[in-house]
Amino acid sequence: MQWIFCLLAICFLSCNKSEPYSFFVAGHVYGKPSPKSIGVHPPFVEKFGLIKSTPNMSFGVLTGDMVFMDSDKHWDSLHTDLKPLDIPIYKAPGNHELVRKRKEYESRFGKTYSAFIQNGDLFIFLDPLLEKWSITGEQLDFLKSTLIRNQELNGNIFVFFHQLLWWSPDNKFKNVAPNWIGYRGDSCNFESVVLPLFEKTNQPVFMFAGDVGAYSDKNSFFYHKEKNITLVASGMGGNKKDNFLIIKVNGWKKVEIEMIALNGDDVNALGEIEDYKLPKE
């Protein structure tokens, strides 16, 4: 009887195991804020070999400010530089892509918010610039219906956007300085509306923002975990603590976030992600 129980347990574990996969997340990949910044930030390009050698690398995500100027020249250079990776690249657009030429961006790439499933995990892309850093109207309807429609997945939820939506001048994140707070409304609904939607899922939620790292005197990385929500900001361009992320998801849905330094040793130069928790006041 005991061997039957063990056999059933092994079968249960095997049947509930999924294929492991990895992906990278990179913010502000045009690099230094300058009209001369065309294509991908060169120190990031130098890490492409590391990305390609990562086991089960499936795709990449760019979390906004992919090009300094929304022009054919800049887009062509970006795509040419990324081509050697030879994997799908998903985009969460930022102010450099949308503020001046939203219609052109949508014509090139389609809707600025979307979702897909990967190995039983849910991936969601949001566009805070549609409504001054708030998620409202049709986009909020999309978010709610996406979460409801996929509530039986019971896997991880990964969410991507450009702005640090959790930042406010009068909340606990006020000292976490993003690159820029332009086009932000007087009040935003992240804490009051968006965050509670994800908390109610009771699933592990990982939110990634990319508007950091452009300036050496501001944050290049941020990490905060509370309840079932993990907030992460990562970016490059300031040439001091530039970084990107490699996310590894094993067969039992456990998520590992690696912060990769662009300057110095890949995984040790910037310390551990827990070193970047919310500063104590």
Query: pLDDT tens for residues 170-181?
Result: 999 999 989 999
The pLDDT score that the predictor gives to residue 12 is: 40
So what's the pLDDT on residue 7? 39
Residues 91-105 have a mean pLDDT of 94
The tokens for 221 are 């990385």
In CATH terms, the superfamily for domain 21-276 is: Metallo-dependent phosphatases (3.60.21.10)
With CA atoms as reference, report the closest residue to 164 among 63, 61, 31: 63
Asked if residues 181 and 165 have their Cβ atoms less than 8 Å apart, the reply is no
pLDDT of residue 2: 52
Secondary element (H or E) of residue 109: helix 102-109
Q: What is the longest distance spanned by two Cα atoms in the chain?
A: 72
Average pLDDT over residues 100-117: 94
What does the alpha-carbon distance between residue 77 and residue 22 come to, in Å, rounded to a whole number?
25
Please tell me what DSSP assigns to residue 192.
Answer: I
pLDDT (tens digit per residue) in 250-267: 999 999 999 999 987 777
pLDDT at 6: 43
Separation CA 225–CA 1 (nearest Å): 44
Give exposure, 202-241, as e/b (b: 16+ Cβ within 10 Å).
ebbbbbbbbbbbbbeebbbbbbbeeeebbbbbbbbbbbeb
Q: Is the pLDDT of residue 247 over 60?
A: yes
pLDDT at 144 over 60: yes
Q: How far apart are CA 5 and CA 165, in angstroms?
A: 49
pLDDT of the residue at 16: 62
- Give per-residue pLDDT as tens, 10-56: 444 445 678 999 999 999 999 999 999 999 999 999 999 999 999 99
- What one-character DSSP code corresponds to residue 84? G
